[in-house]
Amino acid sequence: MTYNIRTARTALFLVFFILPFRVANPQTNSSDFAIHDADRITFFGDSITEQREYTEDVEEYVLTRYPTWKVSFHNAGVGGDKVSGGRAGPIDLRLDRDVFAWHPDVITIMLGMNDCYYRPDQPGIYATYAEGYRHIVESIHKNSPHTRLTLIQPSPYDDVTREPAVPGGLNSVLLKYSAFVAQLASERGALVADFNAPVTSVLKAINTESPALAQQVVPDRVHPQQGGHWIMAESLLKSWHASALVSSVEIDAGAKPRADAANTNVTDLVVIKTKGKNGIGWTQADKSLPLPFPPSEVDPVLGLVLKSSDIVSALDQETLKVHALAPGAYDLLVDGRAIGKFTADQLATGINLATMETPMLQQARLVLFDTERVNNLESARFGIINTSATAELSPTAEALAAAYAKGVERQRADALPIPHHYELLLASPLSTGN
């Protein structure tokens, strides 16, 4: 069974769909990010990868954070797969057809949920997993020696929000598998990302606050939904040294206003003193977009995940600080649209625009909509390709490939940020009398 359920997000974009954006030509920000421009990334795994959730989240991060890059993404997840392969073929066929044929620069591997057979720990089953996993890594090093490899410790079986299914819990078995994956990564000089501990930690935190919503993070105890996948995407991105910075602006609003900026350009900074308007205004051309999270009321489970984790602080910082404002409350407008009201003290401390309903966030949501579309096309084509050796030559597969290529062009064009005009206008001065 294929788990590709993102209906809430798709519906959200139909609601928030906006007019086409003007295209700018920003430069990308520099970082220690392990992914590079023009990289080809292949995600290999079972149905949890086949869901195309954490993989799309990673794709959205790269698209919105490095919008001029041309990174390619290929999902090679197949439901039911183990280290020996599965319904799409034995492991060596899977690797040849679904991985090496795509000439990836980066490969991630997440396997283990099916390999434990949902049973208590058994030495023979564990040995089969370890031997099979080593074979995969050795085959990658032999057939694609220059590929950068990230091994993923298996995501958890949810023993937190419901009683364990077996004595000691099934997740204890996956933790043993996770320890092996980390050891193997160390032996082979690969990166490692932990999908188990972070998800389990958030499950515990949410279960304390809202047991009913906590059960929806991994509703069938195996396949996470959007919130759980974002925790996993964060872990993978952290292993790649992803930056939190979207943009950073710090303004001195004194008599001669000036601005310091990172990953953005600030121009036309002026003091506004006209009848009925007092404050400052400027134009800002960011080089990245914020992550495309929906409003919390659209997805309360994701909202709780974001509240109970460090995803926003670790990956999504679009900060604005303004000093030397007269005391009082200020309306923030972007392109004439009211974003929020903040005191001078709040603005001096700093606010994170990434969490607010801005035109930049709406553009990022358009990128998410595009990303879901291209992944649906790739999923359909991948399903044809892994059914026969000659299927990739079929007219249907060729048509899907052409539609996918056009979708990627649109996706990349929509990810390019555009300049926006900002105003901070004094709404209510601080009273100094009785």
pLDDT at residue number 393: 61
Q: Which residue has the higher pLDDT, 417 or 3?
A: 417
* 159, pLDDT greater than 60: yes
3-state secondary structure of 225: coil
Report the CATH number of the 7-243 domain.
Answer: 3.40.50.1110
Greatest C-alpha distance within the chain: 84
Residue carrying structure tokens 């004194």: 254
Mean pLDDT of 369-390: 87
Mean pLDDT of 29-34: 74
- Per-residue pLDDT, 29: 47
**Residue 395 has what pLDDT?**
83
- Top pLDDT among 347 and 433 is at 347
- Phi/psi at 234 (5° precision): -60, -45
From the list 139, 114, 138, the residue with the least C-alpha distance to 125 is 114
Question: 290-327: per-residue pLDDT in tens?
Answer: 999 999 899 999 999 999 999 999 999 999 999 999 99
Q: What are phi and psi of 86, to 5 degrees?
A: 175, -140
pLDDT at 424: 97
Q: pLDDT tens digits for 59-80?
A: 999 999 999 999 999 999 999 9
Res 150 pLDDT > 50: yes
Q: Domains of the chain: which residue ranges? A: 7-243
Query: What is the C-alpha separation between 319 and 336, in angstroms, rounded?
Result: 19
User: Alpha-carbon distance 285 to 281, whole Å?
Assistant: 14
Question: Over the stretch 94-136, which tens digit does the pLDDT of each residue have?
Answer: 999 999 999 999 999 999 999 999 999 999 999 999 999 999 9
- What is the band of 3 on the pLDDT scale with cuts at 50, 70, 90? very low
